[in-house]
Structure 1
């Protein structure tokens, strides 16, 4: 299953050539990731996904320039790997017929009170596995 996020384009996102600036794409990924994590939070008093997280790594392939328009762009997000203390999220930014960007982010849950990374809970793994892509499931990308 993939999480879908509709990302508005802002005039200030453009560079001098009228394209979305490369650094702005990282903010788009962040917006989609935050939307994804908030939707995973169970909302029943559970502490899952309520702490902090930090980005350990980004990989981005810029495929086509994205120019300003009034319609939002779609960001599809899914989980490609879940380890004991990190997860990898895959993304595509696209329209119906154009793929602009492929990316991945390694996210580490972080306990800001303790000032250190924390492990992913069993409950969080259960939620994340729902968004694990088919290829990752076949490769056994969930660590126990």
Structure 2
């Protein structure tokens, strides 16, 4: 019969495991995938409805994200950079997962380094992408 010791957790929990970058990357992968699907689908449907609605409807959609000069406003930057960062983070953790699926990178130090590398790479790629957009 099982022991009824209240000091012992029923299953491994946050008190047992130390928080590490590999846990954060796993959660970020799920969050970025869900976020891109939700926000991206909403924006796509709104954009398609705006196009189907005519010039006035499309102008309203465009004006939400841009200024009078056609440059992005604050909301446009927040959504654009957020989706770009989500895309690169999801892509980098996907590549990390692919490497782990081959059986490599399970050593503790390499796993931690790989998890940190995904976050650094996603931020760096986002910065490079938006700098490139600003140049052109």
Q: Which has the larger radius of gyration?
A: 2
Does TM, scored on the shorter chain, surpass 0.5?
no
TM-score, normalised on structure 2?
0.27
TM-score, normalised on structure 1?
0.26
Q: Which has the higher helix share?
A: 2
